[in-house]
Structure 1
Amino acid sequence: MNDKPLDKGAARTSSPKGTQTLLRGLDALQCVADGITEAGAIAAALGVPRSTAHRLLSGLVSAGYLHNIPYQGYTLGPELIFLGAKAIEQRPLISLAEPLLQDLADQTRDTVHFGVPEGDEVFYLSKINATRGGLEMRSKVGQRMPMAFTGIGKAMLFAMPENRWRSCFDRCCAMQANHPERIKPRPWPVVRDDLKRSLERGYTFDMEENEIGIRCVAAPVFDIAGTVVAAISVASAVSFMPEERMEELAPQVLKASRAISRALGWRADNEQ
């Protein structure tokens, strides 16, 4: 438990009285969320007298933002669950992601993809074309591809429990069999070892597994629960994607994917 006064306290005293009370209330909620549950400890963290903290906490309990459990202290209340659900509903994924995807495209000058899982397939929500020369990729917004054979699909797949990898791979192979013009899947042991390496480093490579002449670097996007809800990739022609450059791009792709994840409420300590 951390009883040190919040750094924000000084700013609170210079705010108008009503705003000051509101901000202190929000700070009190954050205290409880952080595990500071006893009134005296909350008062200390806020830097206010215990009587002031008690009035503030009582108001939050009356409004349903906190519970007060005898001998246990304060817990977050049902109104916060309701507001949290509404916040998720009102933050569409693509709207949050697009500025960060554009930044990534501007930095790399390569094609940037953004997709979500749909069963055993990837559904492409966004594609920003490269500003440098290179091959025209067959990917397009609204397209679906087997998850096991694309960069963003593998980024989703390696975040699944390992005991689900093989069954998903087999179903993707069955889909691929209906498209003889596509690349023949690699043997399962090769795919499995690749996924294990990807899991350890947090990103994955597509080494012309989905389209001849195209390579990409991809990473998953997490939501507030730590669930993989999407993935992003940077893709280009092989001539622009030697393995050395792919390794150099990986931190940029990972940074962008985590920025989108944080916009969805994800934190590093709830990563799966």
Structure 2
Amino acid sequence: MTAPMPHDDADNTDAHAKPAGTQTLLRGLALLEWVAAGVTDVKGIAAKLGTPRSTTHRMLTSLVAEGYLHHIPHKGYRLGSKLIHLGQKALEQRPLVAIARPHLEALAARTGDTIHLGIAEGDEVFYLDKIAGTRGLEMRSRTGQRMPLASTGIGKALMLGLPVARWAGLHTQACPDKATDDAAGPVRPSPPPWPEFAARMADYAAWGWAFDLEENELGIRCVAAPVRDAGGGVVAAISVASAAPYMPDARMRALGPQVRATADAISGALGWNAE
């Protein structure tokens, strides 16, 4: 049985508003999220949580003992093996991931490229699954990551299920802040100006698949297509991504129908009928 989390009554100033132990539980979850975000030392975590360092240290010690965190001397705290296990279980229990996986593996085997599965959460793509390609390439995408919809191929495929009136706002959100970039260094990739972006989206809507032409990560191109549910709504999208030398225009055009066919197969498994 999992040991109870340490609890300080002196810290529970909101006890009258929440059931006993709730604040400690929420604080522990917030601690895990800050470690996941890269805050790995006791002082930094305590500052983020607004708790005394002694309280923070006791929470960290308990989470390490239960396997939720791992402590590396002189380097701080990292997410532990139990969270990896739970994360894998969470993916397995999402029907979409389980249904899509065999289709994604088949597409990965045919193309040799990196395959993604994602859904829309607000104005962002949330990556549910990723199969690394066999070309020895590394790209920054990862399961659990979020990206602006309008800057990625998979996001633009998801946008095909949204009202056209929303496209301009999503395009604006995906464009880097020039003042911030000028201060921070080189300008990040971004979608093309709105008129060109809108024209491309119109083409994607007609084709049933979308492209990312190095708009999210320099040197990376991808082809994406939407996944639909039994009601015909876009509930997810998949993509094939690789380095630009492996993704010339001609190959991207040839991949479009293949990616769409895989997306349609997943849609069929979810109950969608193209007719």
TM-score with structure 2 length normalisation?
0.61
The equivalent residue for 2:267 is 261
Per-residue CA distance 1:100-141 (angstroms, 9 max, x = gap): 0000000100000110000110000111001124x3101011
The equivalent residue for 1:237 is 243
The equivalent residue for 1:191 is 197
2:228 pairs with 1:222: yes
Distance 1:116 1:176 in 2: 28
**Quick one: structure 1 residues 178 and 125, their matched pair in 2 at CA, closer, same or farther if it must change by over 3 Å?**
farther
Distance 2:120 2:272 in 1: 18
Q: Is the 8 A contact 1:110 1:129 kept in 2?
A: yes
**Quick one: structure 1 residues 168 and 106, their matched pair in 2 at CA, closer, same or farther if it must change by over 3 Å?**
same
Aligned residues: 179
**Quick one: structure 1 residues 195 and 107, their matched pair in 2 at CA, closer, same or farther if it must change by over 3 Å?**
same
Per-residue CA distance 1:118-171 (angstroms, 9 max, x = gap): 0110000111001124x3101011000000000000001123221121122223
The equivalent residue for 2:134 is 131
Q: Offset of 1:186 from its aligned partner? A: 1.7
From the CA coordinates, give the structure whose radius of gyration is larger. Answer: 1
Distance 1:177 1:256 in 2: 41
Q: Offset of 1:205 from its aligned partner? A: 0.9
| Match for residue 204 of structure 1 among 188, 194, 210 | 210
TM-score with structure 1 length normalisation?
0.62
Per-residue CA distance 1:55-113 (angstroms, 9 max, x = gap): xxxxxxxxxxxxxxxxxxxxxxxxxxxxxxxxxxx971100000100000001000001
Distance 1:193 1:225 in 2: 27
Q: Offset of 1:192 from its aligned partner? A: 0.4
The amino acid of 1:171's aligned partner reads Q
**Quick one: structure 1 residues 178 and 224, their matched pair in 2 at CA, closer, same or farther if it must change by over 3 Å?**
farther
The amino acid of 1:126's aligned partner reads D
The equivalent residue for 2:147 is 145
Please, which runs of 5 or more residues in structure 2 have no aligned partner?
Answer: 1-92
**Quick one: structure 1 residues 199 and 95, their matched pair in 2 at CA, closer, same or farther if it must change by over 3 Å?**
same
Please, which runs of 5 or more residues in structure 1 have no aligned partner?
Answer: 1-89
Q: Offset of 1:174 from its aligned partner? A: 6.6
Q: Is the 8 A contact 1:120 1:172 kept in 2?
A: no
Q: Is the 8 A contact 2:190 2:216 kept in 1?
A: no
Distance 1:262 1:268 in 2: 8
Distance 1:148 1:185 in 2: 7
Distance 1:252 1:173 in 2: 30
Q: Offset of 1:177 from its aligned partner? A: 7.8
Q: Offset of 1:185 from its aligned partner? A: 3.4
Q: Is the 8 A contact 2:174 2:190 kept in 1?
A: no
Cα RMSD, aligned residues only: 2.0
Percent of aligned pairs with the same residue? 55
The equivalent residue for 1:107 is 110
Q: Offset of 1:176 from its aligned partner? A: 9.2
The equivalent residue for 1:71 is none
Distance 1:99 1:203 in 2: 20
Q: Is the 8 A contact 2:153 2:224 kept in 1?
A: yes
Q: Is the 8 A contact 2:176 2:190 kept in 1?
A: no
